[in-house]
């Protein structure tokens, strides 16, 4: 309305201002612009800034007057005239002002006044006291009695009860229905055009009417055509829901046996595990864990903890819904589509069938089974034991520095030498007519006569042990420089002084040669001494790693040296390496040669025993693992098909090891007996084992300073 | 990659060419991961375990042929279309084109999986074999609430309910149910359908918990396939017993949530009706016109049936029709089904209000019993004097009929599992029921037989003996050649038994002698040592543990020669055995403790 009025006025204003001057024109134009944008009151304010003529601005002025009246009235009201205030009310058209608000605090949260005695201030600035509160019962009773209570509303703001009139309720009802509040208001009045285009001299736009206003739209018709076509083709359907036709039919109608699954070989998913007794709602008592056991489960890491703990419910009715029902099914779904499937062969065999079938031990008799005698006398661990070739005597060397000779059958100690140093090894000369004893202790090797020989032999031995030039080094022999042959006055024998600790000794079968082993002798670690000529030779082969043990071939001129890793076989005549045996164990501790010479056993420090067939391969024919701890010694029997191993776990194993002359037949290896009896001392058990040369008996030397004889 | 397209530098053969990782597969198929997942689930494609994992251990590998199998699947195209459609809807929505969005939403492309069911299970037996997961899933969803947020729609739930009830009705009607087990997780059922053993789990009929860490989309994808599978299986099964599928239910019963009962009645009625029709048709077979008329009548039996069945079944359960029907079916059934059919024959059960009705409504008719419950639509009221058992699950029962027994629901399940009508005294109202044992466990194999299992075994034996003729009774009819034969056989048997006994006595004697010898040996040893007065005393004392040692040695010695691989296997086996033994030992110890507590208490 206002803008309308103003635009109507503008031409007149312009005329006036033209006469007055350009400045004013500019000013009025600005005003018009503002009028277009701004609200009416602002216009009025701005217009008061300019000097308009009274005639032109009649309306405005009159309204200004009204405003003045207002202010005047207000000042009057301060005086307290109630009549004037009613006038104001009549003038304003907003319904809110019909009743003057008693309270002047404005729209603040009323809880600010919750604890105060007043609810606000009236127009005069006086406190409005709160009314006394009726208690709820009374108010309820009052409301029950009062038939008009339903149209009473409590006005919190003014702290008073307002009774709605019929008009009010009608109005509210109309508002709730979403209609205009007054019944006489017509929202659809005919529109009264306030401005006609046609006759104006200067229309806003003088452009001719465009063509598109007169012809039907091309795009609309295209769209319509498209829709029509879509309807016809059935692309757009107006039936609300597509019909749910049941397309059930017998899929397996032609259930021929030829029907096969397409695609790659299908692995069916395993079925879920069927429940056991413990899953029952009322399980048997033994399936329910006690409280302590449940508490103990808390200590187990969560992934190892059993998923299900049995529980008992008094009745079926009291069983609750299983809270993991959905989760478990979900887990199953995940397994079905995410879990890689593979066919696993389940081995369903009797564990007994895994064990090899061994020939009966009864058929392989005789072999040592029971402890028959114990030879006691040593003070320290017995490190080495050796049997004389006739089988009447044994000799033993101990850590306490003594060497003893025993009678086998009675256990009588015949002789004792005190060497002074821990004895590493004792070996009898293999010739029965030369009962000499070779002893390795510290850096020395002693060759002693035992006094078991007959008188004829005695001379021969004495001759053998005589050394013409005790300490004179032989210049011609270059090896003599590091080994000295000398007489040992104390014990009556020969003493060979080495430059390093000697760890093991070995007689040649003819009793003339003696090999010694010094692990730290480097290039001169393996030496061969000739007793008859008192000569010493070095084995001219290179070794890799520390030598551990050496052995002569029983009937050919072949020499075995085992280092910690492998066993090297040398031909002494041709002076070359024949073979290298690779046991593939951690550390070789000892070797034994079969009396036939073609088979070697190797004991290792991880308790493994390797049997090599030299004709077959350089790898073991069989690897046995009898012991839990280091094998200390292995040995063959000279005549019986027996071999044994002894170890630090205080046991000795006796095996049957038959070698056939037929090359097509593999050796037969059967474990026969576990010999126990030795006690452990300092973590060491059985230190040495030797077979009796004629009988199937076994001597074992233990760290508990006892030698035991096991007989069949 | 397939053979015709191989990138330069890619492998031609080996694991690298045969397998691809999941992300490779997704890229190759040009789909999103979720679509790939859907495809895999519907097609039943699963990852495989290549011998050599070329891309590393943390990948999932698919076989290239599986992926190609997916690539040629028409469903892939449908899933793409759906994706496109969803985009259209989204676009319409974002352009505020409500009408279009709504219309598009209504005409969303859909797919049916029946072809895939056929593809995955070429024969009906295959489908039955793989029904366990399907049934468990459908039964679970039948018990779930519909949740808008997780897209679990009411229709799906209703469909699941319908399918599960149909399946149960079939099993119940044909008496194929074999075992049941109430576990904490739910109720397990086992049925034998066409020689296939089908086991499924139904949750307890209570409000289920919907955990938030579950991806319901995956479950719903599975469910979609399972629904189709079960529907097709049901169709085939219903067809096999000459019942129209899908069944039309009595709306009154449906409203009372007694769907299952309604279904069983429908099955009964329609089977009977089909029998009537077949009887009708046979005599009139010569007359062409009449047959045609019958044919036209057949087309609208649905309405008639719904009305008919009510009259038929409510009139008298042991009616003539039923008898005829049963006789005819019995010829086809195997022994076990016959046994199941007649297990609860002549018994009438009444369920109290607090008893979970759904399960028992399924189980009892499956074993030939008649059933009713407290509430509307029940076939007979509580006051019926012919009721033999009332199933009650409350601490005390106030008003009791003397003519019937009041038992706990566990009694039914135990009876069914062990196929013997157990004495009810232990299951009476207010008693602590004996333990409920799992029928899926082979106690002997497990190593531990619960006490109650033994009791039941005795009862079973007793029940069987009653049926068998007593051996003493056959003595007077010697004239019968068959009986004579039997007696001769028996005589032989007795002789054999005598021989056996003698042998046993001899053996025992021999063993005793051996023992004596051993003891005397020890004695000798002892005397020797005492004579010697040597330090070998402890050696003699060792002789008893020595026996054990010898056995151990023998064991060790046989192990010495085994190759490492076999030894490891053996050790693994022993570990497994030991674990089992330890478990059994624990059970026995607990049992002992309980027994002791009972004695003292």
Q: Find tokens 């037949």 and name the residue.
A: A665
Tell me the shortest Cα–Cα distance from A261 to chain B, in angstroms.
Answer: 6
Burial of B186-202, coded b for 16+ CB within 10 Å and e otherwise, reads bbbbbbbbeebebbbbb
Burial of A606-631, coded b for 16+ CB within 10 Å and e otherwise, reads ebbbbbbbbeeeeebbbbbbbbebbb
**Is the pLDDT assigned to residue A99 strictly greater than 90?**
no
Structure-token pair, residue B220: 């719903």
Q: Tell me how far apart the terminal alpha carbons of chain A are, to the nearest angstrom.
A: 136
Which residue in A has a C-alpha nearest to residue B555's C-alpha?
A: A355
- Which of B539, B560, B591 to probe by mutation at the A interface, max A CB count within 10 Å? B560
Q: Find tokens 């090297």 and name the residue.
A: A568
Structure-token pair, residue A202: 């200067």
Report whether A550 contacts A544 (CB < 8 A).
no
**Is the pLDDT assigned to residue A45 strictly greater than 60?**
no
How far apart are the C-alpha atoms of A633 and B576, rounded to whole Å?
Answer: 36
Q: Do A284 and B129 touch (CB under 8 A)?
A: no
Q: Would an 8 Å CB–CB cutoff place B557 in contact with chain A? A: yes
Q: Would an 8 Å CB–CB cutoff place B120 in contact with chain A? A: yes
**CB nearest B123 (choices: A252, A287, A290):** A252
pLDDT of residue A125: 87
Tell me the shortest Cα–Cα distance from A229 to chain B, in angstroms.
Answer: 16
Which residue in B has a C-alpha nearest to residue A370's C-alpha?
A: B539
Q: Do B203 and A322 touch (CB under 8 A)?
A: yes
Report whether A364 contacts A670 (CB < 8 A).
yes
- The residues near A469 (Cβ < 8 Å, ≥ 6 apart) are none
Q: Which residues in A lie closer than 8 A to residue B123 (C-beta atoms)? A: 252, 255, 257, 259
**Is the pLDDT assigned to residue B190 strictly greater than 50?**
yes
**Is the pLDDT assigned to residue B363 strictly greater than 50?**
yes
Which residue in B has a C-alpha nearest to residue A317's C-alpha?
A: B393
Interface of B with A in 347-376 (CB under 8 A): 354-356
Interface of B with A in 375-434 (CB under 8 A): 393-394, 408-410, 432-433
- In this structure, of B23-37, B159-173, B560-574, the range with the lowest mean pLDDT score is B560-574
- The residues near A148 (Cβ < 8 Å, ≥ 6 apart) are A163
pLDDT of residue B182: 93
Using alpha carbons, select from B214, B33, B242, B194 the residue that is nearest to residue B137: B214
Using alpha carbons, select from B348, B277, B433, B413 the residue that is nearest to residue A314: B433
Mean pLDDT, chain B, rounded, equals 78
Structure-token pair, residue B277: 């029709």
**Is the pLDDT assigned to residue B474 strictly greater than 80?**
no
Which residue in B has a C-alpha nearest to residue A361's C-alpha?
A: B554
Mean pLDDT in residue range B227-252: 85
Q: Do A326 and B214 touch (CB under 8 A)?
A: yes
Mean pLDDT in residue range B282-308: 39
- Which of B140, B561, B599 to probe by mutation at the A interface, max A CB count within 10 Å? B561
B448 pLDDT tier (thresholds 50, 70, 90) = confident
Q: Do A277 and B437 touch (CB under 8 A)?
A: yes
- Between chain A and chain B, the number of residue pairs with CB atoms below 8 A apart is 266
Range ranked top by mean pLDDT from A170-174, A479-483, A528-532, A679-683: A170-174
Using alpha carbons, select from A436, A430, A427, A441 the residue that is nearest to residue A398: A441
Mean pLDDT in residue range A536-549: 84
**What value of ipTM does the predicted structure carry?**
0.78
- Which of A237, A244, A251 to probe by mutation at the B interface, max B CB count within 10 Å? A251
Report whether A183 contacts A154 (CB < 8 A).
no
**CB nearest A340 (choices: B47, B112, B594):** B47
Which residue in A has a C-alpha nearest to residue B587's C-alpha?
A: A286
- The C-alpha angle with vertex A663 and arms to A662 and A668, in degrees rounded to 5, equals 75
pLDDT of residue B489: 52
Mean pLDDT in residue range B531-546: 46
Using alpha carbons, select from B78, B102, B83 the residue that is nearest to residue B92: B102
- In this structure, of A271-275, A559-563, B34-38, B335-339, the range with the lowest mean pLDDT score is B335-339
How far apart are the C-alpha atoms of B565 and A347, rounded to whole Å?
Answer: 14
B258 pLDDT tier (thresholds 50, 70, 90) = low
Using alpha carbons, select from B317, B445, B426 the residue that is nearest to residue B370: B317
- Angle between helices B132-143 and B216-240 in degrees, nearest 10: 110
How far apart are the C-alpha atoms of B16 and B61, rounded to whole Å?
Answer: 10
**CB nearest A322 (choices: B119, B133, B186):** B186
pLDDT of residue B45: 93
How far apart are the C-alpha atoms of B186 and B168, rounded to whole Å?
Answer: 16
- In this structure, of A339-353, A665-679, B306-320, the range with the lowest mean pLDDT score is B306-320
How far apart are the C-alpha atoms of B251 and B257, rounded to whole Å?
Answer: 10
Mean pLDDT in residue range B567-594: 90
How far from A661 is each of A557, A639, A664, A666, B545, CA to CA, in Å?
21, 15, 9, 10, 42
Tell me the shortest Cα–Cα distance from B436 to chain A, in angstroms.
Answer: 5
**What is the DSSP-derived secondary structure letter of residue B7?**
-
* Higher-scoring residue by pLDDT: B175, B397: B175
Tell me the shortest Cα–Cα distance from A692 to chain B, in angstroms.
Answer: 23
Q: Would an 8 Å CB–CB cutoff place B474 in contact with chain A? A: no
B243 pLDDT tier (thresholds 50, 70, 90) = confident
- Angle between helices B259-281 and B154-174 in degrees, nearest 10: 50
Q: Do A263 and B66 touch (CB under 8 A)?
A: yes
pLDDT tens-digit map of A237-296 = 776 666 666 778 888 887 665 677 877 888 889 998 899 998 999 898 888 888 888 888
Q: Which residues in B lie closer than 8 A to residue A248 (C-beta atoms)? A: 231-232, 235, 245-246
pLDDT tens-digit map of A322-358 = 988 999 999 999 999 999 998 888 777 887 788 878 7
- Which of B50, B58, B68, B557 to probe by mutation at the A interface, max A CB count within 10 Å? B557
The H or E element that residue A197 is part of is none
pLDDT of residue A57: 39
- Tell me the DSSP string of A255-286: --TT----SSPP-PPPPPPPP-GGGBSS--GG
Coil, strand or helix at A708: strand
pLDDT of residue B519: 57
A161 pLDDT tier (thresholds 50, 70, 90) = confident
**Is the pLDDT assigned to residue B86 strictly greater than 90?**
yes
**CB nearest A340 (choices: B48, B127, B130):** B48
Q: Is the peptide bond before B246 cis (omega within 30 degrees of 0)?
A: yes
Mean pLDDT, chain A, rounded, equals 79
pLDDT tens-digit map of A369-391 = 888 888 888 888 999 999 888 88
How far apart are the C-alpha atoms of B37 and B26, rounded to whole Å?
Answer: 9
pLDDT of residue B206: 83
Q: Would an 8 Å CB–CB cutoff place B109 in contact with chain A? A: no
Q: Do B435 and A272 touch (CB under 8 A)?
A: no
Q: Do A319 and B435 touch (CB under 8 A)?
A: no
**Is the pLDDT assigned to residue B553 strictly greater than 80?**
no
Using alpha carbons, select from A639, A705, A693 the residue that is nearest to residue A408: A693
pLDDT tens-digit map of A48-84 = 444 433 334 334 333 344 444 444 444 334 444 334 4
Q: Do B124 and A255 touch (CB under 8 A)?
A: yes
pLDDT of residue B60: 93
Q: Would an 8 Å CB–CB cutoff place B56 in contact with chain A? A: no
Q: Would an 8 Å CB–CB cutoff place B69 in contact with chain A? A: yes
Using alpha carbons, select from A463, A493, A498 the residue that is nearest to residue A479: A498
Q: Do A356 and B558 touch (CB under 8 A)?
A: yes
The H or E element that residue A646 is part of is strand A642-647
A37 pLDDT tier (thresholds 50, 70, 90) = very low
pLDDT tens-digit map of B224-236 = 999 999 999 999 9
Using alpha carbons, select from B336, B60, B32 the residue that is nearest to residue B190: B336
**What is the DSSP-derived secondary structure letter of residue A289?**
P
Q: Would an 8 Å CB–CB cutoff place B219 in contact with chain A? A: yes
Report whether B395 contacts B428 (CB < 8 A).
no
Q: How much is the CA Rg of chain A, to the nearest whole Å?
A: 62
Strand order in the sheet with A609-613: A588-593, A599-604, A609-613, A622-624
A122 pLDDT tier (thresholds 50, 70, 90) = confident
Q: Is the peptide bond before A366 cis (omega within 30 degrees of 0)?
A: yes
Q: Which residues in A lie closer than 8 A to residue B566 (C-beta atoms)? A: 354
B85 pLDDT tier (thresholds 50, 70, 90) = very high
**Is the pLDDT assigned to residue B31 strictly greater than 90?**
yes
Q: In terms of pTM, does the model score above 0.90?
A: no
Structure-token pair, residue B231: 């529907």
Q: Do B184 and A322 touch (CB under 8 A)?
A: yes
């Amino acid at each position: 309305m206002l803008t309308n009025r103003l635009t109507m006025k503008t031409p007149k204003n312009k005329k006036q201002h033209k006469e007055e001057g350009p400045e004013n024109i500019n000013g009025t134009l600005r005003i018009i612009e503002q009028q277009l944008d701004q609200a009416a009151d602002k216009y009025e304010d701005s217009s008061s800034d300019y000097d308009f003529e009274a005639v032109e601005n009649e309306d405005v002025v009159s309204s200004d007057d009204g405003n003045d009246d207002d202010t005047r009235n207000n000042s009057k009201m301060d005086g307290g005239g109630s009549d004037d205030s009613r006038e104001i009310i009549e003038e304003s058209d907003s319904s809110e002002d019909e009743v003057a608000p008693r309270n002047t605090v404005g729209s603040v949260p009323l809880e600010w006044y919750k604890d105060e005695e007043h609810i606000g201030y009236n127009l005069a600035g006086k406190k409005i006291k709160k009314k006394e509160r009726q208690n709820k019962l009374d108010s309820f009773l009052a409301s029950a009695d009062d038939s008009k209570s339903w149209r009473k509303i409590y006005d919190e703001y003014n702290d008073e009860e307002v009774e709605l009139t019929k008009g009010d309720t009608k109005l509210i009802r109309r508002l709730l229905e979403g209609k205009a509040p007054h019944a006489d208001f017509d929202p659809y009045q005919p529109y009264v055009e306030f401005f006609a285009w046609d006759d104006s001299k200067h229309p806003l736009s003088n452009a001719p009417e465009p063509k598109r206003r007169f012809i039907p739209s091309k795009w609309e018709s295209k769209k319509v055509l498209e829709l029509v076509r879509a309807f016809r083709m059935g692309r757009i359907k107006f039936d609300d829901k597509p019909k749910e036709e049941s397309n059930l039919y017998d899929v397996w109608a032609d259930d021929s046996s030829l029907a096969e699954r397409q695609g790659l070989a299908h692995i069916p998913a395993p079925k879920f595990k069927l429940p056991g007794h413990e899953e029952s709602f009322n399980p048997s008592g033994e399936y329910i864990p006690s409280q302590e056991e449940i508490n103990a489960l808390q200590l187990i890491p969560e992934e190892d903890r059993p998923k299900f703990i049995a529980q008992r419910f008094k009745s079926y009715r009291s069983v609750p819904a299983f809270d993991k029902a959905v989760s478990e099914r979900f887990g199953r779904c995940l397994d079905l589509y995410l879990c890689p499937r593979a066919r696993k062969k389940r081995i369903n065999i009797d564990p007994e069938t895994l064990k090899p079938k061994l020939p009966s031990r009864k058929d392989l008799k005789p072999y040592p089974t029971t402890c028959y005698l114990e030879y006691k006398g040593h003070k320290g661990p017995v490190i080495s034991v050796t049997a004389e070739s006739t089988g009447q005597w044994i000799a033993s060397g101990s850590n306490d520095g003594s060497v003893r000779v025993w009678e086998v059958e009675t256990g009588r100690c015949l002789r004792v030498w005190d060497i002074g140093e821990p004895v590493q090894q004792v070996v009898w000369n293999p010739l029965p007519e030369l009962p000499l004893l070779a002893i390795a202790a510290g850096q020395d090797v002693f060759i002693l006569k035992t006094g078991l020989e007959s008188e004829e032999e005695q001379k021969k031995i004495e001759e053998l042990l005589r050394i013409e030039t005790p300490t004179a080094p032989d210049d011609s022999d270059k090896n003599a420089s590091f080994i000295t042959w000398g007489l040992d006055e104390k014990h009556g024998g020969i003493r060979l002084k080495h430059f390093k600790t000697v760890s093991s000794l070995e007689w040649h079968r003819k009793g003339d040669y003696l090999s010694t082993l010094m692990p730290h002798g480097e290039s001169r670690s393996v030496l061969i001494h000739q007793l008859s000529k008192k000569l010493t030779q070095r084995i001219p082969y290179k070794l890799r790693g520390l030598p551990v043990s050496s052995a002569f071939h029983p009937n050919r001129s072949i020499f075995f040296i085992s280092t910690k890793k492998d066993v090297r076989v040398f031909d002494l005549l041709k002076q070359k390496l024949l073979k290298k045996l690779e046991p593939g164990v951690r550390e070789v501790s000892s070797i034994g040669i079969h009396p036939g010479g073609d088979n070697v056993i190797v004991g290792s420090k991880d308790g493994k025993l390797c049997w090599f067939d030299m004709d077959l391969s350089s790898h073991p024919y069989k690897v046995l693992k009898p012991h839990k701890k280091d094998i200390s010694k292995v040995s063959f029997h000279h005549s019986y098909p027996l071999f044994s191993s002894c170890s630090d776990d205080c046991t000795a194993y006796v095996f049957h090891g038959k070698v056939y002359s037929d090359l097509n037949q593999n050796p037969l290896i059967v474990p026969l007996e576990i010999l126990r009896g030795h006690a452990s001392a300092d973590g060491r058990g059985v230190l040495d084992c030797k077979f009796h040369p004629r009988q199937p008996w076994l001597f074992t030397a233990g760290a508990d300073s006892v030698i035991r004889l096991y007989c069949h | 990659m397939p053979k015709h397209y191989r990138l330069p530098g890619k492998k031609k053969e080996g694991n690298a060419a045969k397998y691809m990782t999941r992300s490779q597969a997704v890229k190759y198929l040009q789909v999103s991961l979720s679509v790939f997942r859907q495809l895999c689930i519907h097609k039943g494609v699963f990852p495989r375990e290549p011998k050599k994992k070329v891309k590393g251990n943390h990948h999932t590998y698919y076989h290239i042929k599986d992926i190609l199998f997916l690539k040629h699947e028409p469903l892939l195209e449908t899933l793409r279309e759906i994706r496109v459609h969803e985009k259209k809807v989204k676009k319409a929505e974002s352009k505020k084109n409500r009408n279009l969005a709504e219309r598009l939403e209504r005409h969303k492309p859909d797919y049916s999986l029946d072809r895939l069911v056929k593809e995955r299970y070429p024969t009906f037996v295959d489908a039955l074999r793989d029904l366990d997961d399907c049934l468990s899933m459908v039964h679970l969803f039948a018990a779930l609430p519909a949740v808008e947020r997780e897209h679990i729609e009411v229709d799906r739930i209703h469909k699941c309910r319908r399918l599960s009830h149909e399946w149960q009705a079939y099993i119940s009607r044909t008496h194929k149910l074999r075992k049941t087990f109430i576990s904490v997780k739910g109720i397990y059922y086992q049925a034998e359908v066409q020689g296939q053993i089908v086991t499924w789990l139904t949750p307890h009929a209570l409000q289920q918990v919907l955990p938030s860490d579950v991806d319901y989309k995956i479950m719903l994808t599975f469910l979609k396939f399972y629904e189709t599978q079960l529907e097709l299986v049901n169709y085939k099964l219903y067809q096999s017993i000459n019942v129209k599928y899908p069944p039309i239910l009595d709306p009154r019963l449906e409203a009372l949530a007694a769907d299952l009962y309604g279904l069983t009645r429908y099955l009964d009625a329609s089977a009977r009706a089909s029998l009537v029709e077949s009887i009708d048709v046979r005599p009139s077979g010569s007359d062409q016109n009449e047959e045609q008329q019958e044919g036209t009548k057949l087309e609208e039996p649905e309405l008639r049936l719904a009305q008919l069945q009510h009259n038929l079944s409510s009139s008298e359960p042991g009616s003539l029709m039923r008898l005829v029907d049963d006789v005819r079916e019995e010829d086809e059934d195997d022994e076990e089904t016959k046994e199941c059919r007649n297990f609860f024959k002549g018994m009438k059960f009444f369920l109290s209000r607090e008893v979970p009705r759904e399960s028992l409504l399924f189980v009892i008719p499956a074993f030939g019993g008649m059933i009713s419950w407290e509430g509307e639509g029940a076939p007979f009221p509580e006051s019926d004097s012919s009721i033999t058992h009332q199933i009650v699950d409350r601490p005390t029962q106030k008003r009791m009929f003397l003519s019937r027994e009041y038992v706990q629901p566990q009694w039914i399940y135990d009876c069914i599992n062990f196929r013997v009508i157990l004495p009810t005294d232990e299951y009476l109202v207010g008693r602590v029921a004996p333990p409920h044992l799992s029928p899926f466990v082979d106690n002997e194999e497990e190593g531990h037989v619960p006490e109650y299992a033994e009791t039941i075994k005795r009862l079973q034996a007793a029940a069987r003996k009653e049926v068998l003729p007593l051996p003493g009774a056959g003595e007077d009819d010697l004239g019968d050649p068959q009986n004579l034969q039997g007696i001769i056989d028996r005589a032989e048997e007795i002789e054999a038994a005598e021989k056996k006994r003698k042998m046993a006595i001899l053996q025992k004697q021999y063993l005793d002698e051996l023992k004596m010898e051993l003891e005397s040996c020890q004695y000798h040893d002892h005397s020797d040592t005492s004579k010697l007065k040597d330090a070998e005393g402890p050696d003699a004392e060792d002789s008893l543990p020595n026996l054990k040692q010898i056995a151990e040695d023998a064991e060790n010695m046989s192990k010495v020669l085994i190759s490492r691989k076999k030894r490891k296997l053996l050790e693994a086996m022993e570990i497994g055995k030991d674990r089992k033994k330890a478990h059994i030992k624990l059970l026995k110890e607990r049992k002992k403790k309980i027994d002791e507590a009972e004695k003292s208490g």
